Chains A and B, each alone.
Chain A
């Protein structure tokens, strides 16, 4: 008895530093943040309880509605990034000479700081003649869709999509690696059997690869969905919410109001809305899509 208690004490001594940090920086924010969402709080004065006022303000404000809509639009990133990542993984899943070099090339954006990614893409999108701006304008003028050249990050019709493209670009390699691991766990004899049965490459992909890869596809889609609705670093670096506040996402809104204006009540109310969305997405995913037997 005393021995077991002793062992438990020892175990918690090992765990203490990690548990203390998790308590302060992971669990406390959930509770305290939820409370602050119902108050007015500016970091200096004590929080003042205001009930649902922050939420009423949020939903009656156009900027927050735009932010919500943009975060929802951001979900368009998910199918694009997953399809391209699967394509990349299939392309690099072999031993061709130089294949490792390609894997490295596709992964470099993942190990690049997001601030540098933003700077580099601001060059590409530059209204002074960035490579993509020129290419896009040539195309659009050729198609007679525009008369005057547009600036990619200064036109409120395309700015958000330009930022979304950067999110895709920098996330591809990450998902490619997860899919590569998934592909390599498919036993080779399944393909051999299919080959003997005369299945062509297309049939093998759709009848074997996709079904056997589906747990990875579901996991990656969930990760990608949660990342997409939470996206805001790219916005902060590339457009700062502009032009004319057209690229605000929900977390960018929270960042602006919280960190820059110290209106923590409003900011955390917006964050809480986002948490509810994330929990709902995760719940729907686990409830309806994940394989039951695991």
Chain B
């Protein structure tokens, strides 16, 4: 499919401009139905976001006018400022950042540590351990949250960041991703290091981790976005509204101040914005389909 579009013939200089443009237009014209369908589907996925942004930026007019306005009416940032006056947005932001940072650091450390022996060492029980880790992917994780809540309560971790973060650190996907990265490191390097007298820790720390930077980067981005966006678990662990992360705080804003539609819309925009920016800059990590990680 891709080959058809990539060929373009070299044309004589003076004509290049005109016929080049015309060729582009002809190509676009041929694909017009394709683009029409793509655009229609894009409207379905993007329009609700656009409506929310327009509502948050507008200050006048009927909110639920039909057909809805496509551009903000009397745009201003008043609704966004009002969010700060309505809920403790700064506190929510801080909590979200702390949860995301702790989850990322913890996941990188714990998953890479666990992945190293699974990838590069022979030891008794290796197959059983790996099987058990893979088995957690089939275990019904969403069902665990009830017992995990009991556990967190017994450890006195209710309303703490540790309570939100701890159950999410040792993920099978993270361990699997790091294991694959470590397996790709050439064996000669490790043999050479062993001959030079390096111990396992030195091999892990000085050879493996630096060479696995791309995988560590991918794991960082994926973990950060899912930690920022998680909703039900932090809403269970955090009972005091002062401790809410943004994803929970925005729901609190929406249920406690539902009459202030524009302010709720502004709160929704402020919640997505950081991850939307992260996503736009790192979209290749998401749109590549995790390469082999899922297979």
Contacts and interface: CB of A to CB of B under 8 A. Distances in A.
A28 B154 CA distance: 14
B200 A10 contact: yes
A193 interface: no
A233 interface: yes
A160 B275 CA distance: 29
A3 B289 CA distance: 41
Nearest to B28: A97
Contacts of B140: 230, 271, 274-275, 278
A128 interface: yes
Contacts, number: 269
Interface string A112-124: 1111101111111
Interface string A219-249: 1000000000010110011000000000000
B234 to A, nearest CB: 10
A69 interface: no
Contacts of A12: 117, 123
Nearest to B230: A113
Nearest to A110: B286
Interface string B27-54: 0100100110110011011101101100
Contacts of B254: 115, 119, 122
Contact of B280 (A33, A104, A122): A104
B83 interface: no
A17 B142 contact: no
B95 interface: no
B154 to A, nearest CB: 9
Contacts of A151: none
Interface stretch (A49-57, A58-66, A74-82, A86-94): A86-94
B287 A107 contact: yes
Contacts of B114: 14-15, 17-19
A159 interface: no
A271 B146 contact: yes
A216 to B, nearest CB: 9
A96 B147 contact: no
A14 B114 CA distance: 6
Contacts of B109: 17
Nearest to A183: B1
Contacts of B49: 108, 112, 120
A153 interface: no
Contact of B66 (A7, A28, A129): A129
A111 interface: yes
Nearest to A188: B3
Contacts of B247: 113-116
Given A97-B28, A105-B45, A14 B117 contact: yes
B151 interface: yes
Given A119-B264, A129-B65, A33 B144 contact: yes
B80 interface: no
Contacts of B93: none
B37 A111 contact: no
B144 A26 contact: yes
Contacts of A8: 123-125
Interface stretch (B11-19, B166-174, B212-220): B166-174
Interface centre among B5, B64, B276 (most CB of A within 10 A): B64
B147 A28 contact: yes
B117 A11 contact: yes
Contacts of A217: none
B208 to A, nearest CB: 11
Interface in B148-185: 148-151, 153, 166-167, 169-170, 175
A284 interface: no
A105 B42 contact: yes
B51 A11 contact: no
Given A102-B42, A107-B287, A116-B268, 18 more contacts: A10-B123, A15-B117, A15-B129, A17-B109, A26-B139, A36-B150, A94-B5, A95-B2, A95-B5, A109-B45, A111-B276, A115-B254, A118-B251, A120-B52, A123-B51, A123-B55, A181-B289, A237-B231
Interface of B: 1-3, 5-6, 24, 28, 31, 34-35, 37-38, 41-42, 44-46, 48-49, 51-52, 55, 62-68, 109-111, 113-114, 116-118, 121-126, 129, 132-133, 136, 138-144, 146-151, 153, 166-167, 169-170, 175, 200, 204, 225, 228-232, 236, 246-248, 250-251, 254, 261, 264-265, 268, 271-272, 275-276, 279-280, 283, 286-291, 294
Give 3 nearest A-B pairs by CB, closest first.
Answer: A129-B64, A181-B289, A29-B147
26 contacts: A17-B113, A25-B170, A27-B139, A36-B147, A43-B153, A88-B41, A92-B38, A95-B2, A96-B34, A96-B35, A104-B287, A107-B279, A108-B45, A113-B272, A113-B275, A116-B271, A119-B254, A120-B49, A120-B51, A120-B268, A129-B65, A131-B66, A131-B68, A169-B44, A177-B289, A271-B146
